[in-house]
Structure 1
Amino acid sequence: MDIILALETWLAFLLACWIISLSPGAGAIASMASGLNYGFARGYWTAIGLQLGLLAQIGIVAAGVGAVLATSALAFSLIKWFGVVYLLYLAYRQWQAPVGKLEPSEQNVMGGRPFQLVLRGLVINASNPKAVVFMLAVLPQFLDISQPLLPQYGLMALTMVAVDLIVMAGYTGLAARVLRVLRSQRQQQMVNRSFAGLFAGAAGLLALVKRATV
């Protein structure tokens, strides 16, 4: 551990990972929506996609590309507005989600193929420039510049992914259990539209993000 990250540094980073991951955001909303729509086993593929997006963010920071997002208003805006549009699209899909039987219907299963859910999670995380700039500001604080940086970034990536997988499993499982208590179409419709509102709210928050304030 000493040749990668000092134990006390890693423990501090681990705590930071839990705080970051537990903070409600678009990823948590997507995980809960997938759990509600498809159940835990299928819905958890969204969490896998979120981790691929997280790894992409860390890779961008490690490669120094994150500095471009921090300094280029155009690059930041392009990625930000793509993310806003995608979250609004997810809000629309969730608002229009069919209600009926509590068990996932054939239509739901076909619409919740693993590849589609993984891609959804990947796009949600990859299209958040604020997260990249945030990591650009946070990750270097835990680096020992006297040691090789690549192994340190690797350990950080492994730690963040492990923590986030646990947290997203909780969000997905919690929403999946809601399926067991919903008994009327009206209740299901209210929950679907609540998640649609959360997606739209996440889009609104992302739209308000300004590069200079990150």
Structure 2
Amino acid sequence: MVEAIYRQIRQDILSGKLKPGSKLRFADLKTSYDAGTSTLREALSRLTADCLVTVEGQRGFRVAPISLTELWDITKLRAEIESTALADSIEHGDDSWEANVLASLHRLSKYEDRDDTTPALLSEEGALLHKLFHMSLLSACPSVWRLRVLDLLYDQSERYRRLQTSYLPDYRNSPQEHRDLMEATIGRHKQRAVALLTLHLEKTAQSLATVEELWGPEARRQGQP
């Protein structure tokens, strides 16, 4: 029960259904998730460990806030650590790894090609396929701890990516970016793959930083701090 509630609340935070900084009142949560206080408290404690929820002393829980500073911090860390992981993955990847990368992109592309008015990467299935593709690129990296850190960073950046897709759905051609990244990766063009990955990550932050509705005056700072 705790696992199911944890996953539901987590998905609602990542999707933006539960707004950044909003108060998580047990009375409301009991109604929304049909769960008791102890179950909710344990699920929220797990989400606190994931840095998706914050604790305010004796005042309860809130959805973790967002900020431009955090957006760029996460983006820079992902670019640094993920670039090394991708380079290592290209160096150590075998035929099975290549096949997994191709299959992951194929599944994501098919989902993105569906006839639907909702952006594909805003849905739970689309978001999962997107993560699976990105992690497939790195899956031949021999460092287990590097991959664990990247999994955490990916989930933190996911809230920002979905905000970017929500506010600027027509801003960029992600399918082509993914294809270019795949071709450079399985073609073993290490420098090009790392450069494309870094640009792919930074584009999300750069475009999202322009949304004044989210940041107010801070939105004028469109580039990296």
What TM-score does the superposition give when structure 2 sets the normalisation length?
0.35
> Which structure carries more helix by proportion?
1
Greater relative contact order structure (CA < 8 Å, 6+ sep): 1
What TM-score does the superposition give when structure 1 sets the normalisation length?
0.36
